[in-house]
Amino acid sequence: MWDSIWINANLVTMDGEGSGIVQNAALAVEKGRIVFAGAQDDLPDHPEALARTIHDARGQWITPGLIDCHTHLVWGGNRAREFEMRLNGATYEDIAKAGGGILSTVKATRDASEDTLFNAALPRLQNLMREGVTAIEIKSGYGLDTETERKMLRVATRLRDEAGITIQRTFLGAHALPPEYKDRADDYIDLVCNEMMPALQKENLVDAVDVFCETIGFSPAQTERVFQKAQALGLPVKLHAEQLSNQHGASLTARYKGLSADHLEHLDEDGIKAMAKAGTVAVLLPGAFYFLRETKVPPIDLLRKHRVPIALATDMNPGSSPAHSLLLMLNMACTFFRMTPEETLAGVTKNAAKALGKSNTGILKPGYRADFALWDIQEPAELSYRFGFNPCTGVSQGGKFRDFALSRKADSTASRTGFSPAARNSL
């Protein structure tokens, strides 16, 4: 007997070339894994004979759980003041050069206790989870000293353990130059490579390594030193690349078989070819594009031409993208980047899984983790069409199912398997 089965569903499996749509479908789960995802008529027996728990999806859609593969979700303080400064004409770079920007968040994060950071981060994470997100990446990088980088990665680990969500913890020690290393960037890279990265990896706090390669960040040569160290320690790399200028960071990342190169507004075709060859995912961040009022669009057509997988993420952070909704990123990717609804959904499922180096989630397919989301929609394109509305009615996280309709107990119309219209958007 299987543990549970969803019947009368429509699936967006993401298996194969397109979206892999199956209507009048069923999805079954056993021991946290998908054991069936296909046409209901192809079930080997009656649902009652196959599974202990039967959920009637009543025509709702099921997609793979969404994946937010680029976030800076743990930070102290906020940067609303800087937002106002930018509205009055200062640029993001101006503010960074004047010691604000990332460094103002570094100060607030150093000053915050681990509990304070955890308590601030949890609702951000819960907001994503309520939108069907079952896996995310969280970067450090607002500590810039061993102690505070450790504190951030410990918070990310606690979020993983307490929220029961898949989290990739990325060490971004080379995010900005801390004030105590002013004009000594190479010495700081020594610290990152020789002290911080090995110590934090030894404490089992690091799953991947990232660098901010930019004129206001670190040079390609400094980036490469960090990549070499990561490689020596067996850690996969990724890069904040070509966000504000073309530093040829994408090619560098490809040379280290990087998981992803992210932002990419200023990426050129050579970088794209290198990414295609290495299997490096292009992670686009429409929230940062929007919030920094960027006008240069990432080279979508060339990415398509060279068949580089495109992922989308929130880049959730206090400075360049205080975006707390992954669904909104789908809409922005369509409006700003002219991506198709189908491309955006691939961007937060199978391609985002690839960006995290995970081959067991992001697709509805037997053998994969039972990470999926239920949606009260008529067609999948609605996920990118509407904005500011959340049609998610339930989430399975490795087979653990949370029914958002049922969680409002006061609603007497919510049945064991049902999704009462009155309750479904109540959380």
Residues that bind Fe ion (CB under 5 A): 315
Q: Which is nearer to Fe ion, 315 or 343 (CB)?
A: 315
> Are the C-beta atoms of residues 320 and 75 closer than 8 Å to each other?
no
Q: Which is nearer to ligand DI6, 212 or 375 (CB)?
A: 212
- CA dist 223 and 74 (Å) reads 23
Alpha helix (H) ranges present in 208-347?
220-232, 249-255, 269-278, 286-291, 300-305, 326-337, 341-347
- Contact with ligand DI6 (CB under 6 A): which of 71, 320, 390, 396? 320
- CA dist 13 and 343 (Å) reads 14
Q: Do strands 400-403 and 392-397 pair parallel, antiparallel, or not at all (unpaired)?
A: antiparallel
What is the contact mask toward ligand DI6 in residues 279 to 298, using x (rule: CB under 6 A)? ---------x----------
What tokens were used for 365? Answer: 């397919």
Q: Which is nearer to Fe ion, 34 or 313 (CB)?
A: 313
Q: What is the amino acid identity at position 140?
A: S
Contact flag: residue 109 with ligand DI6 (CB under 6 A)? no
Q: Do strands 392-397 and 133-139 pair parallel, antiparallel, or not at all (unpaired)?
A: unpaired
Of 210-239, which residues contact ligand DI6 (CB under 6 A)?
A: 212
Q: Which stretch binds ligand DI6 (CB under 6 A): 23-31, 101-109, 118-126, 351-359?
A: 101-109
Contact flag: residue 102 with ligand DI6 (CB under 6 A)? yes
Q: How far is the CB of 163 from ligand DI6 (least distance, A)?
A: 23
Q: Which stretch binds ligand DI6 (CB under 6 A): 97-105, 327-335, 376-384, 413-421?
A: 97-105
Nearest to 62 by CA among 33, 16, 19: 19
Q: How far is the CB of 137 from Fe ion (least distance, A)?
A: 10
> Under rule CB under 6 A, how many of the chain's residues touch ligand DI6?
14
- CA dist 372 and 166 (Å) reads 13
Q: Which stretch binds ligand DI6 (CB under 6 A): 19-27, 99-107, 188-196, 419-427?
A: 99-107
H/E element, 117: helix 114-129
- CA dist 245 and 265 (Å) reads 8
Residue 305, CA distances (Å) to 235, 241, 308, 310 in order: 30, 20, 8, 12
Contact flag: residue 317 with ligand DI6 (CB under 6 A)? yes
Q: What backbone phi and psi angles, to 5 degrees, belong to 170?
A: -110, 125
Q: Which is nearer to ligand DI6, 38 or 286 (CB)?
A: 286
**Per-residue buried b or exposed e for 252-277, using 16+ beta carbons within 10 Å of the residue's own CB:** bbbebebbbbbbbbbbeeebbbbbbe
- CA dist 384 and 335 (Å) reads 9
Q: How far is the CB of 230 from ligand DI6 (least distance, A)?
A: 17
- Contact with ligand DI6 (CB under 6 A): which of 143, 271, 286, 319? 319
Q: Which is nearer to Fe ion, 12 or 153 (CB)?
A: 153
Q: Which residues contact 378 (CB under 8 A, 6 or more apart)?
A: none
Q: How far is the CB of 258 from ligand DI6 (least distance, A)?
A: 15
- CA dist 77 and 294 (Å) reads 24
Region for residue 58 given its phi and psi (left: phi exceeds 0; alpha: psi -120 to 50; beta: otherwise): left
Q: Which is nearer to Fe ion, 207 or 315 (CB)?
A: 315
Q: Which stretch binds ligand DI6 (CB under 6 A): 38-46, 264-272, 312-320, 339-347?
A: 312-320
Contact flag: residue 318 with ligand DI6 (CB under 6 A)? yes
Contact flag: residue 247 with ligand DI6 (CB under 6 A)? no
What tokens were used for 106? Answer: 């570094």
What tokens were used for 225? Answer: 């030193």
Q: Which is nearer to ligand DI6, 15 or 82 (CB)?
A: 82
Residue nearest to ligand DI6 (CB): 319
Q: How far is the CB of 320 from ligand DI6 (least distance, A)?
A: 4
Contact flag: residue 208 with ligand DI6 (CB under 6 A)? no
Of 136-195, which residues contact ligand DI6 (CB under 6 A)?
A: 175
Q: What is the amino acid identity at position 83?
A: F
Q: Which is nearer to ligand DI6, 30 or 315 (CB)?
A: 315
Region for residue 242 given its phi and psi (left: phi exceeds 0; alpha: psi -120 to 50; beta: otherwise): left
Contact flag: residue 60 with ligand DI6 (CB under 6 A)? no
Contacts to ligand DI6 by CB under 6 A: 72, 101-102, 105, 175, 212, 240, 243, 288, 315, 317-320
